[in-house]
Structure 1
Amino acid sequence: MSEFLDLQKKRRSIYALGKDVSKTPEELNSIIKEAIENTPSAFNSQSTQAVVLTGAAHDRLWDITLAELKKVSADEEAFAATKAKVDGAFKAGFGTVLFYTDTNIVKGLQEGFPLYANNFPDWAEEAVGISLYAVWLRLAEEGIGASLQHYNPLIDAAVAKEFNLPENWTLRGQMPFGSIVAPAGDKDYLAEDVRFRFFQD
């Protein structure tokens, strides 16, 4: 089996995260930055941007998320369950990566290449997806667990204000990461004849 396939199998959604990470915040920032820098994007647009939060900044992100979620919670009981999930599965981690799309880059490409204008938003999403996966694999390679969350657009404005982020950055996902307190459960796979086709000649 290839090393890459081993790494793919190692990468799982980990919801029991801790702060016992051997890498420094600076080392993790470099790992994440390099993973994203070396991912492909349509027309080499590099439209995916990232914000790495650790320490108090990481905690503030999830405090903001809880504050926004409380505004839309059905009642106190529902919010208590939500808070337990956010505190236990996300805030308990070592840090979070925020993934953004720079909409100015997308619009510039649409204007510069009108024949493909309708495709650039989709291609930007592909670039985010590849970047997410690259970071997730690198974290897994370092023995660090992660999951992918989507509290956007609920938290977008408050997070942008807190961290003074450009208006043209659109939040696409949040990846809390940290030490693996408990492993992921078993993973089910669709039957191969349902999911795949192979033709020759």
Structure 2
Amino acid sequence: MSQTFLESVENRRSIYGITNEPILTDDKLEELIQHAVKHTPSAFNSQTARVVVLLGEQSNRLWEITSDTLKKIVPEENFESTAQRMTMFGGGYGTILFFEDMQVVESLQEQFKEYSDKFPTWSDQSSGMIQYVIWTALSDEGYGASLQHYNPLIDDEVKAEWNLPTAWKLMSQMPFGKIAAPAGEKEFQPVEERMHIFK
């Protein structure tokens, strides 16, 4: 592994303060995300990940949907901080939605019955990898991003709004944009307690 890759791993952080100022052109951004989608691994080369990129007003619409949904369940006296988060996420350049195509997962379960119970786990793992690859690639280009999980609360309305297949399972949402405020200090547990090597 090159030091450049390890530096990218180290530099990727959760960034919440973002703006809608462009860094890459939309074409370059699309190319970057397409490359990640194409080359991120998956079990049995199943390629179950589905990615939707919302830019500008489309991204704002997502956070309006999320805000409206949360208003129904968050007590009014506690909603101000939630509203601020929605405004913050909606103030970025865009949002990436990560899905898994459960129709493909179920098809694999039928084809390979001896592994049937494993495919949902492998699907989750594949989703985690593509989220990480795209997040790190965005970080390398100077974007700040964070990973949010308002699913399954918003799933049905998101699929209806963008006419997405019902078999797609929403896994996470990644608002991103130009960094307005850096990440804070990060604490690490001793690596020696988290890793063992036997020779």
TM-score normalised by length of structure 2: 0.97
CA RMSD of aligned residues (A): 1.0
Q: Aligned-pair distance for 1:77?
A: 2.3
Q: Which residue of 2 aligns with 1:78?
A: 78
Pairs within 5 Å for 1:124-163: 124-163=123-162
Q: Aligned-pair distance for 1:26?
A: 2.8
1:32 pairs with 2:33 = yes
Partner amino acid, structure 2, of 1:50: V
1:176 pairs with 2:175 = yes
Distance 2:54 2:26 in 1: 9
Q: What residue ranges of structure 1 are gaps of 5+ in the alignment? A: none
Listed one character per residue, the Cα deviations across residues 103-128 of structure 1 (whole Å, up to 9, x for unaligned) are 00000000000000000000000110
How many residue pairs end up in the alignment?
198
Distance 2:22 2:12 in 1: 17
Q: Aligned-pair distance for 1:172?
A: 0.2
Q: Aligned-pair distance for 1:22?
A: 2.3
Q: What residue ranges of structure 2 are gaps of 5+ in the alignment? A: none
Distance 1:61 1:29 in 2: 19
Distance 1:46 1:52 in 2: 18
Q: Aligned-pair distance for 1:190?
A: 0.7
TM-score normalised by length of structure 1: 0.96
Q: Which residue of 2 aligns with 1:167?
A: 166
Partner amino acid, structure 2, of 1:7: S
SS in 2 for 1:72: coil
Decide whether the 8 Å contact of 2:64 with 2:86 is kept in 1. no
Q: Which residue of 1 aligns with 2:9?
A: 8
Q: Aligned-pair distance for 1:20?
A: 1.4
Partner amino acid, structure 2, of 1:24: T
SS in 1 for 2:118: helix
Q: Aligned-pair distance for 1:58?
A: 0.4
Distance 1:167 1:26 in 2: 28
Decide whether the 8 Å contact of 2:23 with 2:142 is kept in 1. no
